[in-house]
Amino acid sequence: MASIAQRALNGWPLFLTIAAMTFIAISAAALLIGISTPESTVSLIRLSVQLASPWIFLAFAASAMAQIFPGNTSSWLLRNRRYLGLSFAAGFGWQAVFIAVLFTLYSPYYWEELHKTSDLVLRIGSYALLIAMTITSFFPVRRRLRTEHWHWLQLVGVWYFWLAIWTSYAELAFSSSATVISFVYFNLGLLALVLRVAAYLKRRTNGLEMSS
């Protein structure tokens, strides 16, 4: 675990490293796949979600890991949960970029094959929530909020994005077009949920023992 203690794997350097790797992967895919067809653009949208998904799962499970498996790794996760969340936001932002490209270049395909108006409204709401979570993760803004308001925003947000990502992979994993990565991410998301539930049960059990 000595490597985790290195500066490059903590705090802002960690975020910049993840964001840079995401940018390189997206740029390489964009050069190879291109946006010459709506299908290729959709492939880039899916890739952006795949690159972002691990970070929301880790951020979602970080506090549970620290409670169930205290140690260097879980402490590192908890200490860097903020930056993992920001890494998710940075990766997920690429989805918005390619959706805008799809909407601009292939509007009929967007409406006929992908989304209805209600889906677009929900997606806009998701981005608004993500922007709110991102902005309030910075301490100068966070200090302007009541502690309970900030807590509930982050709690609702992390549950919402975990659920949105996980259910999308669940739908893919149990469809006729299932892929290996959809199974992997479905199980990773499920594992994160199991850890959260186990941590809750542990806290509740400890609370009952202390009160008895």
Mean pLDDT of 5-28: 89
> Is 205 inside a domain boundary?
no
Question: Nearest 5°: phi and psi at 6?
Answer: -65, 150
User: Per residue in 94-104, pLDDT tens?
Assistant: 999 999 999 88
| Integer Cα distance of 171 and 127 in angstroms | 21
**Total domain count, the chain:** 1
Do residues 41 and 22 touch, judged by C-beta distance below 8 A?
no
- pLDDT recorded at residue 207: 66
**Which spans in the chain are helix H?**
11-33, 38-68, 72-79, 81-105, 107-109, 117-135, 139-142, 147-173, 180-211
- pLDDT recorded at residue 212: 45
> Is 129 inside a domain boundary?
yes
- pLDDT recorded at residue 201: 92
> Is 159 inside a domain boundary?
yes
What is the span of the domain harbouring residue 18?
2-165
> Is 148 inside a domain boundary?
yes
> Is 78 inside a domain boundary?
yes
> Is 203 inside a domain boundary?
no
* Average pLDDT score over the chain: 87
Mean pLDDT of 16-36: 94
> Is 127 inside a domain boundary?
yes
> Is 174 inside a domain boundary?
no
